[in-house]
Amino acid sequence: MRYAMAIDTKKCVGCADCVVACQIENDVPHGYCRDWITEKTVGTYPKLEMEIRSERCNHCENAPCVRCCPTGASYIAEGGVVLVEAAKCIGCGACIESCPYDARYSHPEGHVDKCTFCIHRVREGKQPACVAVCPTKCMYFGDLDDPSSEISKQLRTRKFKVLSPEAGTKPHVYYLI
C-alpha cells in the first residue's frame, strides 16, 4: 500500500476550502495551517498562464525530515504516510529545517505538526478532509499499488509533475497539469 494524492491544477480554483476543512478537522490553531494555496502566473499581460496548487506535506518516500529527527518522533507509518508522534517530539525543529516544501510548523503546544493525510479518517474508510470537501473535486487520494484506484487511473492518463524533484525526496503528492 502506497498512499498518494493527485491534485488537478486545471480544475483547482484556489478557493482554500481544503485549508479551512483541514483546520477544522484537525483543530489546527488559528494562524497556522497544514495545507495552503499557491498561485503562480507567468508571462506578461495579456499573454499569461496560471497554475494554482493546493500544497501540503508530500509524504516523501525518501523523507529528509524522518532521517534527521533525533528522537524518532517523525516516522513513516502504514502506506508511506509520514507522521509526527507529538509525545516523542521535543520541538527541536530539525525536521522543519530539512523539509524542502516548508510543510511543517511548530505547534504552539511545543511539538511539530503537519499534514497526516487525515490517516484517522482514512482508517475509517473516509477520504482526507481536504479531498472530501473540495468543491471542484480536483483532488484524488488513494493507493498507488492498486491499479484500479482513481489516483492510479489519473496518473496513467494525465500529465503530472511533483514539486522539487531535484531534492530527491520522491514525493507522494502529484500535480496533474
Binding residues for ligand SF4 (CB under 6 A): 7, 12-18, 37, 54, 134-136, 138-139
Partner from another protein, ligand SF4, none contacting 139, C-beta within 5 to 8 A by type: ligand SF4
Nearer to another protein among residue 119 and residue 167 (C-beta): 119
Indicate the burial class of 48 (C-beta count within 10 angstroms; 0-12, 13-18, 19 or more). exposed
Q: In this structure, what are the phi and psi dihedrals at residue 82, rounded to the nearest 5 degrees?
A: -90, 125
Q: Does 55 bind another protein (CB under 8 A)?
A: no
Q: Within positions 79 to 98, which residues make up the interface with another protein, using CB under 8 A? A: 85-87
Strands (E), 67-123: 74-76, 82-84, 105-106, 112-113
Partner from another protein, ligand SF4, none contacting 31, C-beta within 5 to 8 A by type: another protein
Nearer to another protein among residue 31 and residue 147 (C-beta): 31
